[in-house]
Amino acid sequence: MPSHDVMPNMELYQPVQVEDALEIASRFADRGWLVGGGQDTYGWLKDRAKSIDALIDLSGIESLRGIRETDDGIEIGALTTLTEVINSDIVQQRYALLSDAARQVASPQIRNIGTLGGNVSQDVRCWYYRRGLSCYRAGGNLCYADTPQGMNREHALFDSSRCVAAGTSDTAPALVALDATMVIQNSAGERVVSAEDFFVGPANDIENTTILRDGDILTAVRIPSTWANASFYWEKVADRNVWDFSLVNIAAAFRLNGDTIEDSRIVAGAVQTTPRRLTNVENAIQGQTKNLATGESVKQIASEGARALAHNGFKIPLLQNLVKRAVSA
């Protein structure tokens, strides 16, 4: 049996320049592990659920920290802590949806260390997978959660292809709702992808939850001015107010003309591996009055296509009512 709660032997690299980090990441490929705050990393390694040869600590790279204004919005360094995001005046004033979401992540101690890049890049929290069982996501041929005896109360309602684990990031739905883009660098250069395309589900990739691959480093998140100062709604439902991951969360941005909804982006979290954009709801409320009647009229379509497992059926009315509250507020 593996020795739990004891860190395995590995090499430690602490670059202070992005270029050096990219070279090290490229050299080690899948035998290297990038770490920012380390809140997710150290559990994996202590439990011996994953093994590596090198830990690449990015925390000394100052260029990956901070929040900067751009010609068309803001850019947030991937190593910016969640507390820094919460306390940023410009985020609070223009993009409060993100600061509201970040404020609900885990506990103050974790938010002080945890980074925005780490929060969106963390792996799923399915206990079968985390404890080293050979499930589909770990290279096996069974999803232990998707069985009559499986413990699946916190798992996915949608887009479950072999794996029913749900995404755990609270900031990810907010970034998708804000139409953010993710800046990724590797030894070949830089590319920018939409937040919506940054996250991937098990039908496309059973082993990864983002498009990051060996040698890639998420360096920044850019939020355009498109949804600055919009009408925002964020709500997270969890078993406990501190520490717990979402059972369901909702991130919504509305562009209003008086009380009329001209445009919107509504995204649910913890209902599938990736943030779920509710385009059917967005289309249904366009041109409608933002009020309780509209929210009530569209809540049912929010769950169209949902497949409840043995123990997570409560998430369907929970999702419906969060959508109703977002449209009504």
Residue 3, pLDDT score: 53
CATH 3.30.465.10 is held by the domain 65-121+166-328: yes
For the chain, give every domain's residue range: 1-61, 65-121+166-328
**Rounded Cα distance, 37 and 44, in Å:** 14
**Rounded Cα distance, 267 and 286, in Å:** 15
Which residue ranges of the chain lie beneath pLDDT 50?
Answer: 1
Residue 148, pLDDT score: 87
**Rounded Cα distance, 207 and 188, in Å:** 23
**Rounded Cα distance, 202 and 220, in Å:** 25
Residue type present at position 56 = I
Residue 38, pLDDT score: 87
Task: Provide the token pair at 27.
Answer: 């050299």
Choose which CATH entry (3.30.43.10, 3.40.50.720, 3.30.56.10, 3.40.1010.10) describes domain 1-61: 3.30.43.10
pLDDT, one tens digit per residue, over 80-127 is 999 999 999 999 999 999 999 999 999 999 999 999 999 999 999 999
pLDDT, one tens digit per residue, over 115-130 is 999 999 999 999 999 8
Mean pLDDT of the chain: 95
Query: Do residues 220 and 129 touch, judged by C-beta distance below 8 A?
Result: no
Other beta carbons within 10 Å of 43: 13
pLDDT, one tens digit per residue, over 12-45 is 999 999 999 999 999 999 999 999 998 888 777 7
